Amino acid sequence: MPHPQSRALGLSPRYGAFIDNAFRPVAGLTFPAAAAATGEPLADIARCGADEIEAAVAAAEAAFPSWKARAPEERAACLHKLAAAIEADAERLMLIDTLDIGRGLWETGIDHAIAVAQYRYFAAAIVTHEGFGRPIPDGYLIAKREPYGVCGQIIPWNVPAIMAAFKIAPAVAAGNTVVLKPDENASLSTLELCKHIAEIFPPGVINVVPGFGDEAGAALTAHPRAAKLAFTGSSEVGRIVSVAGAQRLVPVSLELGGKSPNIVFPDVAAADIDAVVDNVTFAAMYCNGQSCLAGTRLFLHEAIYDDVMSRLLASMARIRVADPTSQGPLLGCLVSEKQGRRVQSYIDIGRQGGHLVTGGERVAVPGCAAGWFFAPTVFETTNSSRIAQEEIFGPVLSVIRWKDYETMIREANDVRYGLAAGLYTRDLSRAIETADRLQAGNVWINNYFNLASGSPFGGFKESGIGSEYCRETLNMYTHLKAITVQTQIKPAWYAPKA
């Protein structure tokens, strides 16, 4: 039976590819979208492939010249309208995401607020996105930024509203057109977003093709007329996308995995420890732990280790594991059985090589029998353990004791990722030194997840290539064209007449 809220939410029974501002009829195979917590069906989604990708690229290609020719102010106006439409529809869209991926309403509401801010940020940024120029002898150099054309974009399932905004907003602001593939585990809110897009943007500017990575995704990254590729997801798939771009020599931007250190220094004031513990808890458990940014390696100084650990365990115990449609902060379920089994396997690995302090078990939630809920899980371990080195993408925190600063810095950097890091200290000099030495694209001092529109978001090492969320992102979606102007034609000199 369909989920009882499907009709009330205005979900379509079936979704085809969104091309040229219209959903295509579903003629072939489909895959189900089901509520992560209950398993109840929400809709059937077309399992698209090369044919739909070809049609979407053709539509985007046809729309590109006129969209590129629009003034930045006109493109910005469309983005502002989309932001307003999402804001007005946020309550419905956030519930769709909560059902689809199992995260709490309090979180999916934040997602849509961030998405709205992204559309508005790039609407403003594009108006002042300029090239440069300078005089040259008897003339002038003009360097102007131009869009690439059709951008192929692939997004993950953990924060679909944010990911769609991260990709769509800068691309179309800069004058590109888009073919976006959402993840098969979280397509619904993106497909519902298309209903707003159809009323605001010209046909073909934004196209959405659902499907599986090895079918629709592979066809998109290999398409000869996709002029730029952008991917967010695992480092393993990021390599595949990067190779696809290299084979066609097109630019690729990647936002990949993380295993972020979160460091507590011994000088934290006693009055601030509870607040630090609360932020550490949030850093590890937000998004049900399914975040590339999560602070999943907690480096805790031995001078305050016992005190902080006791408060941390009490903080974890206060977290509600509950039906994600409940109000207030909570820990919902993982997105799928596949992800649940993955997290369970890492917990089993952790039991063998570390000390399980709390959690580690699957939790039964009334009315949510299909959901993979886990209690907040904390291990005491070493930095070399697998659970401290590999991205788990679940509510699992590794705590590592430290006493020597240089050793701690070395271990904090001793991981293949470099997306984010956090630290807590009253010593500003030590904070800046540590931030400089950490191999991470984002370092948050005294407040983890401290993201603000305009703050560059991108990783070092295997965490990606390029920066999102900021003005620099517009440079990723444009290339420079140089035009030199001479004020008059110079006399012949190379092979003049005798």
Query: Among all residues, which ones are annotated catalytic?
Result: 255, 292
Query: Which among 492, 494, 484, 425 has a CA at the least distance from the CA of 133?
Result: 484
Distance CA 434, CA 139 (A): 48
Burial of 184 (C-beta count, 10 Å sphere; 0-12/13-18/19+): buried
Is 103 in contact with 288 (CB distance < 8 Å)? yes
- Sign of the Cα pseudo-torsion (42, 47, 51, 56, in order): positive
Please give the helix or strand (H or E) that residue 398 lies within, else none.
strand 396-402
DSSP classification of residue 489: P
Distance CA 130, CA 126 (A): 8
Nearest-5° Cα angle at 16, 12 to 22? 90
Query: Which among 72, 80, 79 has a CA at the least distance from the CA of 131?
Result: 72
DSSP classification of residue 457: B
Close Cβ partners of 10 (under 8 Å, ≥ 6 residues apart) = 92, 192
Please give the helix or strand (H or E) that residue 301 lies within, else none.
strand 297-301
Distance CA 231, CA 127 (A): 26
Give the strand pairing for 417-418 and 460-461: antiparallel
Terminal-residue alpha carbon distance, the chain: 92
Two tokens, residue 166? 């991260």
Is 270 in contact with 424 (CB distance < 8 Å)? no
Is 364 in contact with 322 (CB distance < 8 Å)? no
Residue 212: how many CB atoms within 10 A of its CB?
16
Please give the helix or strand (H or E) that residue 161 lies within, else none.
helix 160-173
Distance CA 79, CA 64 (A): 16
Query: Which among 279, 253, 270, 273 has a CA at the least distance from the CA of 444?
Result: 279
Residue reference for tokens 């697998």: 386
How far are the Cα atoms of 161, 409, 411 from residue 404, in angstroms, in the given order?
A: 42, 9, 11
Distance CA 188, CA 11 (A): 8
Q: Which residues pair with 356 in a beta bridge?
A: 379
